[in-house]
Amino acid sequence: MPKTAMVLAAGLGTRMRPLTERVPKPLVPLAGKPLIDHVLARLTAAGVTRAVVNVHHMADQIEDHLANCTAPAVEISDERDILLDTGGGVVRALPKLGDEPFFVHNSDSVWIEGDSPCLLKMIDMWNPDTMDSLLLLAPVSETLGYSGTGDFAMDAGGVIRRPGAGESVPFVFAGVSIAHPRLFRDAPDGKFSLNLLWDRAIAAGRLYGVDHEGVWMHVGTPDAVREAEERLRREHA
């Protein structure tokens, strides 16, 4: 059961402008609290006790906001010198993450739960003997703010693959995964995407997915923030 999480909070938030002209994207408010607070609350509810948060853009603001966070306890991974992308960011933080499997959670991944909390469903499915990483996948038909043709297909056992040329696939990555440290063995230095390591795991048959039962919201633009807030208001009403 993962007790540690890597929260990816170092992005520039370019598509979220003008909201990110004065605050970093993880601190953009959604339904009355910053995006990263939604993430940390979900991780805490899933039993995570420690989170490593990487920072780059407007790093001081994020550090100040999280300075007194105790649930989970927060440690900063500093990327002020260079933005390392998702894969490189995790590699820099590995000494802080330890030797056990851990969550990797985008700081802007927001959703409405289905019948079971997504992170607990991921924990139930996680099998370190057969998996190097387990991704939360949302059905394209149950997303808000996403207009693509999907990222992955998934078989009945949860093994996932990339789409073929011109193929539309039913699932989009929902911004959360569980990773075993061995996923990063022989990873490149510097800046690179987690997709590089996922493709390697796909080739080895060790990348799995679990389907999201609720509504996943792609909160990437100011319009998407407004749409997500309206959907959350309707849900709570």
pLDDT of res. 178: 98
Superfamily of domain 4-236: Spore Coat Polysaccharide Biosynthesis Protein SpsA; Chain A (3.90.550.10)
pLDDT of res. 192: 96
Using alpha carbons only, what angle is made at residue 32 by residues 29 and 38, rounded to the nearest 5 degrees? 70
Distance, CA of 231 to CA of 112 (rounded, Å)? 9
**How many other β-carbons are positioned within 10 Å of the β-carbon of residue 93?**
23
Residues ≥6 apart with Cβ < 8 Å to 231: 112, 144, 215, 217
pLDDT of res. 113: 87
pLDDT of res. 52: 97
Q: For residue 223, give Cα distances in angstroms to 2, 16, 37, 63, 229.
A: 34, 9, 20, 27, 10
Of the ranges 75-79, 84-88, 91-95, 113-117, which one carries the lowest mean pLDDT score? 113-117
Single-letter residue type at 79:
E
pLDDT tens string 47-85: 999 999 999 999 999 999 999 888 899 999 999 999 999
Q: Which one is predicted more confidently, 146 or 83?
A: 83
pLDDT of res. 223: 87
Distance, CA of 188 to CA of 26 (rounded, Å)? 27
- The ranges assigned to domains in the chain are 4-236
Is a pLDDT exceeding 70 seen at residue 237? no
pLDDT tens string 76-87: 999 999 999 999
Query: Could you identify the residue written with the tokens 């923030």?
Result: 225
pLDDT-based confidence at residue 166 (cuts at 50, 70, 90): confident
pLDDT-based confidence at residue 167 (cuts at 50, 70, 90): confident
